[in-house]
Structures are given as structure tokens and as C-alpha cells.
Structure 1
Amino acid sequence: MPEISVDVHINRSVTEVYDFLSDARNLELWFSGVHSVAESAEPAGPGVAHVYRFPGRHRDQLLQCVAYVPGEHLVFRGDRMWNLLGAQTPMYSFTLSPRPRGTLLRLTVQSRLAGALTLLAPVVAMAWRRDLPRDVRRLGERLGAPHCHVISAPRRVRLPISAFTPAAAPTTVPPALAPPAPPRPQLRPEPRSGARPGLRSEPRSEPRSEPRSEARSEARLEPHPGPHPGPRPASVPAAKERTPRPAA
């Protein structure tokens, strides 16, 4: 649903501006959203419907006053208009605020689109952005204040998400708020060459180094003895001499 607002300062009192806007017959004099309004004897007020024609349409529609707060707020809503692409329902809102040197007027236009017309929402919004500044200047001329000051044009634009979705700018997350990195998967060691396929090879554990005994360490520190000076004693005692036995 495109929604566009524009603010304008008019050098007229709030009462003069509101009385002019509340008469729907004056809309065709300055507003581009209304082509013509039929004469009606009904006074301005909430619930009053006027016969009007939307620009580019050849059939009469109803323009109903749905909000009426004297001197503050005024809203007109048109009938739903159908075509081959879908439907459109316009709504025109006027909000007035007193100022020391005049009146601050905010004009808001809403277009409720249905069907394939939602795809044309950017085009509808672009047309209102072009026409609203011209409309409020014509309003100032009709009220006798040709030097009205347009404060912002347009003030706000809303589009349906399905019709137009701008690309989101990349956002960087500060390191303090960034989520913790997931743990890395532990890879299995590759099997050695010559290992049987299908068997998982486990890493060999290194042998533990046992503490050496003090005696062994001291033995290594002693000097190695040299060769024995004397003859090496026989490990087996010598055999006794056999005496011959006398013959019988």
C-alpha cells in the first residue's frame, strides 16, 4: 500500500483552511486525485458521501468522509475501483496544526492495491511524489496565499514488501557480539602404507622413559678396569692323574 505525505505552511488561519478543505466540491479546484465532484446539498460532516470521478475513469464513484474533527483532522475515502489488473482504493487525509503565521497542513495519500496492481506500487508512488507538491501550491493560490512554503515533499513512502524489496546493505557484526565459531571436526589419521584396508590405524604411543636407578648411573661414571695382569684362572679344575690298575 503506497503511502506518501507532504507538509506545507500556508499563511491562512486554521479555520479558513479547514472550511475550504471540508467542502468536497473544492477538491476538483486544486487536487489531482479528484477529477470532478457532483453538486450536493448535504453539509460537510462524518459519513457524508459525494459523487465524484477519479482521474482517468469514466464511471461515477462515491467519495465518503470517514473522519471529521473540526479544525484538526479530515479524511475522505473513495470507492474500490476495479480493472483488468486488480483493484485500487484511494484515501486522502488532511491534518492541520496552528502556527504563529498561518497553518501547517499535512496531506497524506494512501492507495490500497489488490491483485496484479501490487506490482505497480512503485509506479503509483512515483506519480504521487510528483503531483503532491504541485497540488499544495495550487491550494495556496486558491486560498489567496501563493507563497506557501512546502516543507517536505514527499515526507514518507511505504510500499508492499511483495511489490518492491530493496537489497539489504551488508551489516558487520562487532567481534564482541559475533557468535562463537563452531568447533572444527577432528580428522582421523591416514592409515600407514601396508596397513590393511578397513582397519583403523591408531597412533603409536611413545615408550615411557623410566627413571634410571642410581646404582646404574654410578656404574657408568666409574672408570672401566683394564686387562688383568696375571694369568686367567681356570674355571674348571684340572683332572687328577690316573694310576694304572695291576693286571690280574
Structure 2
Amino acid sequence: MPEISVDVHIGRSVAEVYDFLSDARNLELWFSGVDTVAESAEPAGPGVVHVYRFPGRHRDQLLQCVAYVPGEHLVFRGDRMWNPLGAQTPLYSFTLSPRRRGTLLRLTVQCRLAGALTLLAPVVAMAWRRDLPRDARRLGERLGAPHCHVIATPRRIRLPGPSFTPAAAPPARTAPVPPRPQVRPESRPQVHPEPHPEQHPEPRPASVPAAKDRATRPAA
């Protein structure tokens, strides 16, 4: 839902500014969000419904006063308007506060979008950012205010976004441990164990006859 606000200082009393704003018929004189407003015998107040036309629309819509605090706050809400892309519901609010040399007025526009129109929310917000300061200056001219200037440009924009669940915080990263060097075992010379004398008797030299052979040899 785009929401745009602008602050303007008007060199008129709070009572004068509020009386002018509370009469919905005056909206078509300065406000770009209203094209025409039909005549109505109902006095200004909460719940009062007016017939109006939104700029660019050829059908009559209803504009209802949904908040009314004399000298402080005023809100008008328009009918939901349908088109092939979806629907939009405008909401116009005016907040007043006294100043030393006049009135500080905050103009706020909200557009509740539905359907594919939500994709055009940045375009809608851009259009109101362009038009709202002009409307504030035009209001000062209609009131004949000797001092009227915008003291704060549109400073707040709220755009629809997909709902999401915050992801869990990623685990803390630790420094990677370098791989341990592989140490190859040193090649050692193969040592063959010596045979045990009882298991493997050492053969005698052939030049030395055995005792048995010496005993049987005849004498010369």
C-alpha cells in the first residue's frame, strides 16, 4: 500500500484551513485526487457521504468522511474502484497543528491496491510524489495565504512486499584447518633373522671328512 506524506506551512489560522478542507466540495478546486464533487446539503462531519469522480473515471463514486476531529484531523475514503488489473481504494487524510504564523498541514495519501495493481505500486507512488507538493501550493493559493510553502517534500513511501519469515542466522564460520601432511615411512633395509643353530645346522666343509668316514677308511 503506497503511502505518501508532505508537510506545508499555510499562513492562515487552523480554523480557516480546517473549515475549507472539511467541505468536500472544495476538494475539486485544488486536490488532484478528486475530479468533481456533487452538491450536497449534508453538513460536514463523520460518516457523511459525497458523490464524486476520481480523475480518469467516468462513473460516480462515493467519498465518505471516516474521521473528523475539528481543528486537528480529517480523513476521506473513496470507493473501491475496479479495473481489469485489480482494484484500488484511495484514502486522503489531513492533519493540522497551529504555528506562530499560520498552520502546519500534513497531507497524506494512501492507496490500497489489490490484484495485479500491486505490481504498479512504484508507479502510483511516483505519481503522488510529483502531484502532492503542487496540490499543497494550490491549496495555499485558494485560501489566499500570504505565506504558503512546502517545508517537507514527500518523505515516506510504503510499498507492498511479500511476507517472509526471517531465516536463521548462519553458523559462524571458522578458519579452515589445513590438511595434515602425509609422512611416508622411511624405507628400511630388510634384515633377515639368522637361523638358530639347532634348527639349521651349518654344513661342514667338504674337505673335512666326518668322524664316521674316518673310522671306516683302511689304513695304508
Determine if the alignment matches structure 1 residue 148 to structure 2 residue 140: no
Counterpart contact for 1:137–1:146, Cα < 8 Å? no
- Measured in 1, the distance between the counterparts of 2:61 and 2:5 equals 24
1:120 aligned residue: 120
Displacement after TM superposition at 1:147 (Å)? 3.6
Unaligned runs of 5+ in 1: 163-178, 193-202, 205-248
- Compute the displacement of 1:185 (Å): 5.2
Question: Contact 1:6–1:153 at 8 Å: present in 2 too?
Answer: yes
Counterpart-to-counterpart distance in 2, 1:79 and 1:116: 18
Per-residue deviation, 1:149: 1.3
Work out the number of aligned pairs and report it: 179
Aligned to 1:184: 176
In structure 1, give the amino acid aligned to 2:94.
F
**Contact 2:50/2:64 (8 A) holds in 1:** yes
Deviations 1:148-181 (A, max 9, x none): 011011121111124xxxxxxxxxxxxxxxx854
**SS where residue 39 of structure 1 aligns?**
coil
Note if contact 1:89-1:111 (Cα within 8 Å) is conserved in structure 2.
Answer: yes
SS in 2 for 1:154: coil
1:190-244 CA distance string (max 9 Å, x none): 585xxxxxxxxxx79xxxxxxxxxxxxxxxxxxxxxxxxxxxxxxxxxxxxxxxx
Q: Which has the higher contact order (CA 8 A, sep 6+)?
A: 2
Q: Is the 8 A contact 2:9 2:147 kept in 1?
A: no
Aligned position for 1:49: 49
Counterpart of 1:21?
A: 21
- Cα deviation for residue 100 of structure 1 reads 1.1
**1:72-101 residue CA offsets vs partner (Å, 9 max, x unmatched):** 000000011010111100000000000111
Find the residue that maps to 2:157 and give its secondary structure. Answer: strand
Q: 1:188, 1:153 → 2: CA distance?
A: 64
1:38 and 1:52 in contact (8 A); partners too: yes
Distance in 2 (CA, whole Å) between partners of 1:33 and 1:20 is: 16
C-alpha distance in 2, partners of 1:160/1:47?
29
C-alpha contact 1:7 1:155 (8 A) present in aligned 2:
no
Is there any run of 5+ residues in structure 2 with no aligned partner, and where? 163-170, 187-220
Match of 2:118, SS state, is helix
Partner amino acid, structure 2, of 1:137? R
In structure 1, what is the equivalent of residue 58 of structure 2?
58
| 2:38 counterpart residue number | 38
- Counterpart amino acid of 2:176? R
TM-score, normalised with respect to structure 2: 0.76
Structure 2 equivalent of residue 73 of structure 1: 73
Q: Any idea what SS the aligned residue of 2:74 has?
A: strand
AA aligned opposite 2:40: S
What is the identity percentage for the equivalent residue pairs of Structure 1 and Structure 2? 85
Q: How many Å separate the matches in 2 of 1:126 and 1:146?
A: 30
